[in-house]
């Protein structure tokens, strides 16, 4: 492989890795995928180092003398979200590359498609979050009225959450504001409709905010020995959960002091 091809292989791998990290993949998956890709592209001498918010890749041409002709890329991945669909698409791509069904040109085209792949319609996502909230409220012991209210509240605050998630606001604040809003709406329902269990409505409605992806990935990273990445994600999960707790807590504190609940 000459220097130009090496550069291209590293660039494609770096792009793949950053898509995976941005979508919330665990470190072992990212490193495995990049290893498969580099080997399938025919790069023999390379090194990969990945943490939750960055990828370091370096490779050298076969005929280059020791310490010469290296090509290195550093990719920063500032923000993670959870888009498990993209992880699945990249997984399929890496399988195709390994099976020899896809070369570098094909890979670049497929990556372009994956980056532009559509999420579900906003209303479908909102509806899904609402239905999940309602179902959780029931599972945790709420009545059907509680479940219905949790679904309505889940729908209304999730609109705000999707908007806030796009901005650069800190996770603590985003989740705090959403927690505050959902508690506010729940207290309103509690006052207006008799027989509503305030706790069951709130518990159902907070479930879409729970940092499941961050927590599960953190544990899997730590289990795989990637302690730095696992710690970063664990802090992320704790900050998110604290944000929810602070938002809900402060609202309830205010209303308790006002003797409304």
* Sites of contact with another protein (CB under 8 A): 24-26, 28-29, 32, 82-89, 91-92, 95, 98-99, 119-120, 124-125, 128-136, 138-140, 199, 202-203, 206-208, 210, 212-213, 215-217, 219-220, 222-224, 241, 244-246, 248-250, 252-253, 256
Minimum Å gap between C-beta 201 and another protein is 10
Q: How far is CA 91 from CA 25, 28, 76, 128, 254, in A?
A: 11, 13, 21, 25, 48
Q: How far is CA 194 from CA 131, 145, 169, 197, 231, in A?
A: 23, 10, 37, 9, 45
Other CB atoms within 10 A of residue 113 CB: 11
Minimum Å gap between C-beta 57 and another protein is 21
Any idea of the CA torsion for 233, 234, 237, 240, to the nearest 10 degrees? -90
- Give the chain's radius of gyration (CA, Å): 23
Residue among 224 and 239 whose Cβ is closer to another protein: 224
Minimum Å gap between C-beta 166 and another protein is 15
Are 98 and 42 contacting, i.e. CB atoms less than 8 angstroms apart?
no
Residue among 69 and 85 whose Cβ is closer to another protein: 85
Minimum Å gap between C-beta 207 and another protein is 5
Integer Cα distance of 205 and 209 in angstroms? 8
Residue among 71 and 161 whose Cβ is closer to another protein: 161
Are 137 and 147 contacting, i.e. CB atoms less than 8 angstroms apart?
yes
Total length of the chain = 261
Minimum Å gap between C-beta 15 and another protein is 18
Minimum Å gap between C-beta 172 and another protein is 14
3-state helix, strand, coil in the chain (%, to 5): 70, 10, 25
Integer Cα distance of 253 and 261 in angstroms? 10
Residue among 64 and 222 whose Cβ is closer to another protein: 222
Residue among 152 and 210 whose Cβ is closer to another protein: 210
Residue among 6 and 130 whose Cβ is closer to another protein: 130
């Amino acid at each position: 492989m000459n220097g130009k091809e090496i550069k291209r292989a590293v660039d494609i791998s770096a792009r793949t890795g950053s898509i995976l990290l941005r979508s919330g993949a665990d470190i072992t998956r990212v490193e495995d995928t990049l290893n498969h890709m580099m080997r399938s592209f025919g790069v023999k001498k390379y090194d990969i180092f990945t943490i939750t918010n960055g990828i370091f890749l370096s490779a050298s041409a076969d005929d280059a003398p020791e310490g010469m002709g290296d090509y290195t890329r550093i990719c920063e991945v500032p923000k993670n979200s959870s888009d498990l669909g993209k992880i699945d698409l990249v997984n399929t791509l890496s399988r195709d590359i390994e099976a020899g069904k896809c070369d570098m040109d094909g890979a670049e085209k497929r990556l372009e498609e994956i980056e532009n792949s559509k999420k579900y319609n906003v209303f479908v996502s909102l509806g899904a979050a609402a239905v999940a909230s309602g179902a959780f409220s029931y599972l945790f012991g709420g009545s059907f009225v509680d479940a219905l209210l949790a679904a309505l509240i889940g729908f209304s605050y999730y609109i705000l959450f999707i908007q806030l998630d796009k901005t650069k606001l800190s996770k603590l604040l985003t989740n705090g504001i959403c927690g505050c809003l959902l508690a506010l709406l729940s207290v309103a329902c509690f006052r207006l409709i008799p027989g509503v269990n305030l706790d069951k409505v709130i518990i159902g409605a907070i479930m879409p905010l729970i940092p499941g992806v961050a927590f599960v990935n953190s544990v899997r990273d730590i289990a795989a020995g990637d302690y730095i990445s696992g710690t970063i994600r664990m802090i992320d999960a704790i900050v998110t959960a604290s944000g929810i707790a602070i938002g809900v807590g402060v609202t309830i504190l205010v209303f308790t002091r006002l003797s409304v609940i």
